[in-house]
Amino acid sequence: MTEQPVIPDGTQDTRIADFWDAARGHLGWGKLDPVMGETVDGAVAPPAWSFGADPVTADALLELVLAGRKTATSTALAELTAADAPLPRVGDVSIVLDSHGDPRALLRTTAVEVVPFDAVDAEHAAAEGEGDLAAWRSEHEAVWRRSLGDAAFSPTTDVVTERFELVYPTTGAAPAVD
């Protein structure tokens, strides 16, 4: 589904930084890695975003992730191109926010593939956790017709399918962030 990037304000910056401090250990990255020269990845929080195009969808899809039912997402390639955003890569990490901008989940990308809309398969649709392939196609076509325009959408529209793992929290419970 469409990812909504978030540009944090000062308060949100602090919440994201606190969440990142708690979560990065689950990646095997320590606080001293940047100081010791091992990696700079742990020094700066990864991108933070929310699912969907509205608060209700953002929270509903996040809850599916936290429950372990959603392990995939998809974005029309044209949306990434329009936002001048790079394709996700295997190993990328990101923080998912709820509708209030609170960081709730750390995800790591495990697979990325660009396929035509009509080639997205039932396995991917099921991994998105929102229903079967017919429901996936119906919902995503409606979303992309709204966001891209009817003329820009077709069954051959390129879709970036992404699989991910929930790295933190690992229990399905919301993490405590001070």
pLDDT tens per residue across span 23-60: 888 787 655 444 344 454 456 889 999 998 899 999 99
Give the predicted TM-score (pTM) of the model: 0.80
Query: Whose structure tokens read 């700079």?
Result: 40
Whether residue 174 is contained in a domain is answered as: no
Residue 78 belongs to a domain: yes
The DSSP symbol for 7 reads -
Residue 176 is assigned to a structural domain of this protein: no
Q: Which domain holds residue 14?
A: 3-167
Mean local confidence (pLDDT), 3-26: 72
In a domain, 145, yes or no: yes
Considering only CA atoms, which of 131, 132, 126, 119 is closest in space to residue 163?
Answer: 126
Instruction: Identify residue 36 by its one-letter amino acid code.
Output: M
Asked whether residue 175 is assigned to any structural domain, the reply reads no
For the chain, what is the total number of helices (H) and then of strands (E)? Answer: 6, 6
**Residue 18 belongs to a domain:** yes
Domains in the chain, number: 1
Residue 172 lies in a domain: no
Query: Which tens digit of pLDDT belongs to each residue from 61-89?
Result: 999 999 999 999 999 999 999 999 999 99
Q: What CATH number corresponds to the domain at position 111?
A: 3.10.400.10
